[in-house]
Amino acid sequence: MATPEDIINSELESPSVFRNKGILFPDYIPKRLLHREDKIRELTIAFKDIINDPGNSSIRVVIWGRTGTGKTATTKSFGQGFKGITNNRGIKTEYIHINCHRQRTLYLLTLEIANILKLPIPVRGLSSQEVFKVIHDYLDKRNMYIIVTLDEFDYLVNTSPQEDVYFLVRLYDEISAAVKRISYIFVVRDLSTINSLDKSIKDHILRNIIEFKPYSSTELYDILQDRVREAFNENAVLDDAVKFVADMNGFDKGGSGNARLSIETLQLAGEIADREKSLLVTLDHVKLANSKLNQEASVIFDEIGDLELHSLLLIKSVSNLSKRFRDEAFSMGKVEEEYQQICKDIGEEPRRHTQVYEYVRRLKLMGIFNTQQSGRGTRGRTTLISLSVPLSQEFDDYITKQIRGKLNTKYT
Ligand SMILES: Nc1ncnc2c1ncn2[C@@H]1O[C@H](COP(=O)(O)OP(=O)(O)OP(=O)(O)O)[C@@H](O)[C@H]1O
């Protein structure tokens, strides 16, 4: 009988389809960004004045597009490339990429900028505005420029006080500076986030807008093949397997156009092949990987098709809140508030509280909502509601489509 050590050794020695799996991980930035060359060009044109006329203006660009369309990868690649080239031309530039979901407040993101610049900031006592001033003085002293990307800017807009967003965006109205050293790239999933801002803020950012469209199947095919060459052994992935993933996800073929999901499917297919001790990743492996990734969602999708309008509106409410706040669970009160707002927007009479509670209970029984009691806080216990499937653009689109369908049949 084999000992655990024997089993471990034999598994460790068994061959793998992967040459370098890390190349498939979500934070890996590939050397080339196929089908985003024009976006890098557009960004260069927008930021050209940092080289041609440094300090004269603070440049602002908004990038928007669905999840997995390469916004993060492209801004990071552009930023690093632009920094290298400007520095070679004798203009000191730093690129700073901030994820607003990770650095959740103006204060935290300001500290992060200081941190990346290796600028010591006293732990206590300074406001965000003061830290910004310290940063600016430091840049002045070194005759330096920074491009700050605020990734997932939607999150900051939806969770921070308007005056914080206002301060960031209208920086040069708030701090006086002869030379403008800070420029921004705002990355959002949804342009309506920016449109929801106060006009005075909006006008400051909406001049340069770059849209990242979801990828088509041929674009995804090229992107995937490029990764396959580096991540897998030569000829380990069959061409029709790659084609299948590209077709499933291509926007033109009804998919979400999401490169991350496509790469994840290939990675899982490779892991399945390894488990089966297969030296090839075949069509069956990608099909299995694809259905595993979609399984949970598809069961729920089926059930949702049968729901009546107000249950759908409640799902939409939780989905909206999850998108806006990136949190998972929301109090009954908050969900009801969002639900009432949606009802108002579409001219529907909202159901009463007891009825809403009943819908929530049923959605929970169907496995669409999870509910739990909050801990005992100052305001007492409340029911927290979350979606039981990971929130995706497809899910949200599907709910919206179902709601539209119900409204159409109701009024025709
Ligand atoms: N054109 C491309 N070429 C190669 N890889 C790409 C390309 N576009 C996206 N990817 C890869 O797909 C994954 C998702 O891309 P990225 O994180 O940049 O998307 P995103 O638009 O920022 O998504 P989110 O809105 O969810 O943050 C990453 O692994 C990235 O390297």
DSSP annotation of 18: B
Amino acid at 203: D
Non-local (6+) Cβ contacts of 22 within 8 A are 28, 231
Q: CATH number for 4-25+217-298: choose from 3.30.70.870, 1.10.8.60, 1.50.40.10, 3.40.50.300.
A: 1.10.8.60
Q: What is the DSSP string of 192-204?
A: HHHHTS-HHHHHH
Tens digit of each residue's pLDDT (9 = 90 or more) over 18-60: 999 999 998 899 999 999 999 999 999 999 999 999 989 899 9
Is CATH 3.40.50.300 the right assignment for the domain spanning 36-211? yes
pLDDT of residue 365: 77
Tens digit of each residue's pLDDT (9 = 90 or more) over 273-294: 999 999 999 999 999 998 888 7
Non-local (6+) Cβ contacts of 247 within 8 A are 217, 253, 255
User: For residue 260, how far is its CA from the centre of ligand 1 (angstroms)?
Assistant: 6
Mutation to probe ligand 1, out of 28, 64, 72 (largest number of atoms < 8 A from CB): 72
The answer to whether the annotation marks 73 as part of a ligand binding site is: yes
- Indicate the pTM of the whole model: 0.78
CA angle 373, 375, 377 (to 5 degrees): 125
Q: Would the pLDDT of 297 be above 70?
A: no
Non-local (6+) Cβ contacts of 217 within 8 A are 246, 247, 249, 250, 251, 252, 253, 255
Atom 9 of ligand 1, nearest CA residue: 70
Domains 36-211 and 307-411 share a fold: no
Beta pairing class for 144-151 and 182-188: parallel
Domain boundaries, the chain: 4-25+217-298, 36-211, 307-411
Non-local (6+) Cβ contacts of 48 within 8 A are none
Rounded to two decimals, the ipTM of the complex is 0.98
Nearest-angstrom CA–CA distance, 386 and 363:
11
SS3 percent helix, strand, coil of the chain, rounded to 5, is 55, 15, 30
The answer to whether the annotation marks 72 as part of a ligand binding site is: yes
The SS3 of residue 247 is helix
Q: CATH number for 307-411: choose from 1.10.10.10, 3.40.50.300, 3.40.630.10, 3.40.50.2000.
A: 1.10.10.10
